Amino acid sequence: MKQYFRKSIMVNGCPHSVVADPETTLADVIRRQLGLTGTKVGCGVGQCGVCNVLMDGKLVQSCIVKWSKVSDGASILTIEGMGAPGRLHALQWAFIKCGGFQCGFCTPGFIVSAKGLLDENHNPTREDVRDWFQKHRNACRCTGYVQIVDAVMLAAKVLRGEEEMTDFSEMLGKDGAVWGTYYPRPSAVYKVTGTWDFGDDVALKLPEGTLFAACVCPETHHARVKKIDFSEAEKMPGVVKIVTAADIFANKGTNRIRGQVGSGTATTDGWERRILVPEGDKIRQWGESVAIVCADTETLAREAAKAVKVELEELTPLLYVKDAMAPGAIKVYDEIADIDGIPNAFNKRPIIKGDDPKAALDRAPFVVDEEFYSSRQPHLTMETDCGFGYYDEEGRLTLQTKSICVYRHQLMIARGLGVAPSKIRVIQNNMGASFGYKVAPTNEPLLGACVIATGRPVYMRLDMKEHIVRTPKRSPFLMKVRVGADEKGKIVGLENHWYVDHGPYSESSQDLTNKGGQFMLAPYHVDDIRGCGYTLFTNHRWSAAFRAYGAPQTYHAGEIAVDMLAEKAGIDPLEFRERNLLRVGDTLPSGQKAEVYPLQAMVNRMRPYYEEAKAKAEALSTDTVKRGVGISIGIYNSNDDGADDANSHIELTRDGVTLYNTWEDHGQGADMGCVGTAHEALRPLGLKPEQIKLVLSDTAKAPNSGAAAASRCQVMVGMAIVDSCQKLLNAMRRPDGTYRTYDEMIAENIPVYHEGYYKATLRNVDGEIQTCTGMDDATGQGYPFANHMFGIFLAEVAVELATGKTTVERFTLVSDVGKINNFAVVEGQQYGGIAQGIGLALSEDFVDMRKHNNLIGCGLPFIKDVPDAIRLIHLESPREFGPFGASGTGEMPLSAPHPAILNAINNACGVRLTTIPATPERVLEGLKAKKA
Ligand code: MCN
Ligand code: FES
Ligand code: FES
pLDDT in tens, 537-555: 999 999 999 999 999 999 9
**C-beta separation of 486 from 364 below 8 A:** yes
Q: Report the CATH superfamily, name and number, of domain 90-196.
A: [2Fe-2S]-binding domain (1.10.150.120)
Three-state SS string over 392-439 comes to: CCCCCEEEEECCCCHHHHHHHHHHHHCCCHHHEEEEECCCCCCCCHHH
Task: Name the residue at shortest CA distance from atom 3 of ligand 2.
Answer: 46
Among the bound ligands, the one closest to the CA of 50: 2
113 alpha carbon, closest ligand: 2
Q: Is 44 in the pocket of ligand 2 (CB under 6 A)?
A: yes
Q: pLDDT tens for residues 671-702?
A: 999 999 999 999 999 999 999 999 999 999 99
Model confidence at 264, pLDDT cuts 50, 70, 90, reads confident
Beta pairing partners, 531 = 351, 496
One-letter amino acid for residue 228 of the chain: I
3-state secondary structure of 731: helix
Ligand nearest to the CA of 105: 3
CATH topology classification for 598-641+777-932: Aldehyde Oxidoreductase; domain 4 (3.30.365)
The finding on whether 141 has its CB within 6 A of some atom of ligand 3 is: yes
Alpha-carbon gap, residue 435 to 383, rounded angstroms: 12
- pLDDT for position 605: 98
Is 834's pLDDT higher than 90?
Answer: yes
pLDDT band at 932 (very low <50, low <70, confident <90, very high): confident
Distance CA 563, CA 907 (A): 10
Where does 645-759 sit in CATH, by number? 3.30.365.10
Distances (CA, A) of 78 to 2, 37, 74, 375, 663: 29, 9, 13, 39, 32
**Distance from C-alpha of 227 to C-alpha of 310, rounded to nearest angstrom:** 6
d(CA 248, CA 278): 10
Per-residue model confidence (pLDDT) at position 262: 76
Please give the number of the atom of ligand 3 that sits closest to the Cα of 142.
Answer: 2
Per DSSP, 256 falls in state E
How far is 275 from 419, CA to CA, in rounded Å? 14
8-state DSSP, 443: S
Would you say residue 559 has pLDDT above 80? yes
Going from the Cα of 918 to the center of ligand 3, the distance in angstroms, rounded, reads 25
Average pLDDT over residues 651-668: 98
pLDDT score recorded for residue 130: 98
The pick from 659, 666, 671, 822 for probing ligand 1's pocket by mutation, whose C-beta has the most ligand atoms within 8 angstroms, reads: 666
Cα–Cα distance for residue pair 577/922, rounded to 1 Å: 27
What does the alpha-carbon distance between residue 260 and residue 506 come to, in Å, rounded to a whole number?
A: 8
pLDDT digits (tens, 9 = 90+) for 888-912: 999 999 999 999 999 999 999 999 9
pLDDT at 3: 97
The answer to whether residue 148 scores a pLDDT higher than 90 is yes
Helix/strand/coil for 872: strand
- Residues in the ligand 1 pocket, defined by CB under 6 Å: 102-103, 142, 433-436, 547, 666-670, 672-673, 708-714, 817-818, 820-822, 825-826, 829, 886-891
What is the rounded average pLDDT of the residues 851-866? Answer: 98
| CA 709 to ligand 1 center in whole angstroms | 8
Ligand 2 and 61: CB distance under 6 A: yes
The arithmetic mean of pLDDT across residues 462-483, rounded, is 98
The overall average pLDDT reported for the chain is: 98
List strands edge to edge, sheet with 491-501: 345-353, 529-536, 491-501, 477-485, 366-373
Give the SS3 label for residue 788.
strand
Q: What are the tens digits of pLDDT across the range 346-379?
A: 999 999 999 999 999 999 999 999 999 999 999 9
Residue 916 CB less than 6 A away from ligand 3: no
Going from the Cα of 667 to the center of ligand 3, the distance in angstroms, rounded, reads 8
Ligand 3 mean position, distance from CA 647 (Å):
28
Q: What is the CA radius of gyration of the chain?
A: 27
Once rounded to an integer, what is the mean pLDDT over residues 72-93?
98
By the 10 Å C-beta count (0-12 exposed, 13-18 middle, 19+ buried), 179 is classed as: buried
Pocket lining: 445 vs ligand 3, CB cutoff 6 Å: no
457 within ligand 3 shell (Cβ under 6 A) = no
Ligand 3 contacts CB of residue 610 (under 6 A): no
Catalytic residue of the set 170, 575, 891, 921: 891
Ligand 2, pocket-test mutation among 29, 31, 37, 47, most atoms within 8 A of CB = 47
Residue nearest to atom 2 of ligand 1 (CA): 821
What is the 8-class DSSP label of residue 58?
E
Domain boundaries, the chain: 5-81, 90-196, 211-318+380-470, 598-641+777-932, 645-759
CA of 137 to the centre of ligand 2 (A): 9
From ligand 2's centre to the CA of 79, what distance in Å?
15
Nearest-ligand number for the alpha carbon of 106: 3
CB 721 within 8 A of CB 678: yes
* Ligand 2 centroid to residue 141 C-alpha, Å: 14
Q: Is 891 a known active-site residue?
A: yes
Which residues pair with residue 633 across a beta bridge?
792
Fold of 211-318+380-470: Aldehyde Oxidoreductase; domain 3 (3.90.1170)
What residues have CB less than 8 Å from 152, skipping those under 6 apart? Answer: 91, 94, 114, 117, 118, 124, 129
Q: For 364, which DSSP code?
A: -
- pLDDT tier, 260 (very low <50, low <70, confident <90, very high otherwise): confident
Phi, psi (rounded to 5 degrees) for 31: -80, -50
Superfamily of domain 5-81 in the CATH hierarchy: Beta-grasp domain (3.10.20.30)
CA distances from 411 to 81, 407, 721 (A): 43, 7, 24
pLDDT score at 818 = 98
Tell how far the Cα of 890 is from the centroid of ligand 1, in angstroms. Answer: 4
Mean pLDDT of 303-311: 98
Does 645-759 match 598-641+777-932 at the fold level?
yes
Of the ligands numbered here, which is closest to the C-alpha atom of 200? Answer: 2
Confidence at 263, pLDDT banded by 50, 70, 90: confident
Q: Is the pLDDT of residue 720 over 80?
A: yes
| 302 C-beta neighbours (distance < 10 Å), count | 15
**pTM of the predicted model as reported, rounded to 2 decimal places:** 0.98
Residue pLDDT, tens place only, 605-647: 999 999 999 999 999 999 999 999 999 999 999 999 999 999 9
CB 272, CB 261: distance < 8 Å: no
Average pLDDT score over residue span 707-728: 98
